[in-house]
């Protein structure tokens, strides 16, 4: 006699992975991530907190949680942030409770953070999947930053200096994906995420 097994009732739910994506400013993280989230089921982006000025195209509680420096300092001191970093004069961080709840619900959580934050995650959560998004060349990155026309020349120069430093630290990451053609980069990221879902992992405590 054949019997169907109700896996939802008898099998434990898969715990979501923590996916960390880093890369220099101007590499195209926003475009790649937008397509990746749209095309990948059970993948959610964690919303970061930041003290930087909100851009006209951004929405509070959607793109970021925008905080004052005093509010950010309080969150950091109380242990509410999974990681935090300072970049270009502003602070960024990841709310711990959001990430852990989504993982428990079976969703992979995507953190799009700076290299300094990724280093903190690697130490705090060694099970995290670290991916570095690289430009096809440094010249291409320079051209992309200049083409955005959203910042002053000195700000662009500062970001390029920072980009060189970040690229030199990519050995911290388990995977490197080059963003030359967006569709190919997204496809490569999906392959990484799906293969990581098949790994046997110990439950996060």
What pLDDT, on the 0 to 100 scale, is given for residue 203? 66
**Residue the block writes with tokens 């502003």:** 90
pLDDT at 47 over 80: yes
Sign of CA dihedral 40, 106, 195, 47: positive
pLDDT digits 0-9 by tens, 140-152: 887 777 766 666 6
List 131's β-bridge partners, or say none: 21, 175
Buried b (16+ CB within 10 A) or exposed e, 86-103: ebeeebbbbbbebbeebb
Say which CATH number the domain at 189 has: 3.40.50.300
pLDDT at 55 over 50: yes
- Asked if the structure places residue 39 within a domain, the reply is yes
User: What is the residue range of 136's domain?
Assistant: 14-197
Query: Where would I find the beta strands (DSSP E) of 9-89?
Result: 18-22, 43-45, 48-50, 64-66, 81-87
- Asked if the structure places residue 191 within a domain, the reply is yes
Q: What percent of the chain has pLDDT over 70?
A: 88
Mean pLDDT of 168-186: 96
- Asked if the structure places residue 48 within a domain, the reply is yes
- Asked if the structure places residue 8 within a domain, the reply is no
- Asked if the structure places residue 203 within a domain, the reply is no
- Asked if the structure places residue 202 within a domain, the reply is no
What pLDDT, on the 0 to 100 scale, is given for residue 163? 84
Report pTM: 0.79
Total Cβ atoms within 10 A of residue 167: 17
Q: What's the structural domain count of the chain?
A: 1
């Amino acid at each position: 006699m054949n019997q169907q097994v109700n896996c939802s009732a008898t099998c434990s739910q898969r715990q979501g992975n923590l996916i960390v994506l880093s890369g220099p400013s101007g590499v195209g993280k926003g475009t790649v991530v937008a397509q990746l989230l749209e095309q990948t089921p059970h993948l959610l982006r964690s919303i970061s907190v930041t003290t930087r000025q909100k851009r006209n195209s951004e929405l509070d509680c959607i793109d970021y949680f925008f905080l004052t420096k005093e509010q950010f300092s309080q969150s950091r001191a109380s242990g509410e942030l999974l990681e935090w970093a300072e970049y270009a004069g502003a602070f960024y961080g990841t709310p711990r409770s959001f990430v852990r709840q989504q993982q428990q619900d079976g969703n992979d959580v995507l953190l799009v953070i700076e290299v300094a934050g990724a280093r903190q995650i690697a130490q705090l959560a060694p099970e995290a999947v670290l991916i570095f998004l690289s430009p096809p060349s440094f010249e291409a990155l320079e051209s992309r930053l200049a083409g955005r026309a959203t910042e002053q020349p000195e700000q662009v120069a500062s970001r390029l200096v920072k980009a060189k430093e970040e690229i030199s630290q990519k050995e911290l990451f388990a995977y490197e994906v080059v963003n030359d053609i967006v569709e190919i980069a997204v496809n490569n990221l999906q392959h990484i995420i799906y293969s990581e879902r098949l790994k046997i992992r110990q439950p996060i405590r």
